[in-house]
Structure 1
């Protein structure tokens, strides 16, 4: 488990699913980063738990303040093209906890898990409006892979970023 001052990262528990669902919908849909039509998928935490490793960030009081789905491989990774790649999806931080390194801690844990799984690269996609996420990824050494940008549905353009980890 990675620790930063007052932030602990570890596996999500089934009891965390409702909080993760509410936080993910709040950040993406209520925050104007995704349409309401995506809310059901964002709220399907149990479905994510079947195909990814759910990680959470907790504050000093044990409150869940962030979450991410680490994807070591498979279809849920969407932009993964080889067995050497891992990814993560649906990174969220409670708006009240922003600026405390929570997002960076969750990404670092994904990088650690990818390395431990023998992956050489982490590849992710992000919405064009997620500019705070873009800054975080670039600060953490991710670079753009514009040749892999994609449009899952009309009107939703996603940018692809990657970071070598070997």
Structure 2
């Protein structure tokens, strides 16, 4: 399998947005009250690409999935502080799962973080039920950081996001 990781092209934004939205929907990750608003964020790849780096995994011309790499602060950073890069919205199409695209996307983010001057860590947030993603992060050396866990919707008690970090 020859998976290529590269910057998403504008002509792929709609497809990647739908892959991301469907990954979250089909995995039951949007079962909270404000899911429609977040679904719009997941689909809006152009907005992410304007504020961060959106990468895609492509095989034989087909987009398998993507991720948003945030090299520093800014509007796309949820938890990154000074000297930290952040991974957001990792998603792989259901039909492409188990073939290494997710891990290749995370590895590409780690490589990019290492190339950012002054970047000491790469951080991310994940939902409790994203077990496949957790395995990727742990296999690549990320460690859980429970002290950074947070709730993006404080009025809903059961939406605590788990956090991980990798020291570079």
Question: Structure 1 length as normaliser, TM-score?
Answer: 0.92
C-alpha distance in structure 2 between counterparts of 1:78 and 1:66, whole Å: 21
Structure 2: gaps of 5 or more residues: none
Q: What does 1:59-70 correspond to in 2, within 5 Å?
A: 59=59, 61-70=60-69
Aligned to 1:21: 17
Paired residues, what number?
159
What is the alpha-carbon distance in structure 1 between the residues aligned to residue 139 and residue 112 of structure 2? 19
The aligned residue for residue 151 of structure 2 is 151
Gaps of 5+ in 1: none
Aligned to 1:47: 47
Structure 2: distance between partners of 1:74 and 1:18:
25
Distance between the aligned counterparts of 1:146 and 1:81, measured in 2? 16
**Matching of residue 91 in structure 1 with residue 123 in structure 2:** no
- RMSD between aligned residues: 1.1
**TM-score, with structure 2 as normaliser:** 0.91
Higher strand share: 1
Q: Distance in 2 between matches of 1:46 and 1:30?
A: 23
Kept in 1, the 8 Å contact 2:72–2:81? The answer is no
Q: CA deviation at 1:107?
A: 0.5
Which of 154, 159, 163 is residue 160 of structure 1 equivalent to? 163
Q: Tell me the CA shift for residue 99 of structure 1.
A: 1.2
Corresponding position of 1:142: 142
Correspondence list, 1:64-143, <5 A: 64-75=63-74, 76-82=76-82, 84-118=83-117, 119-143=119-143
Shift of 1:34: 2.1
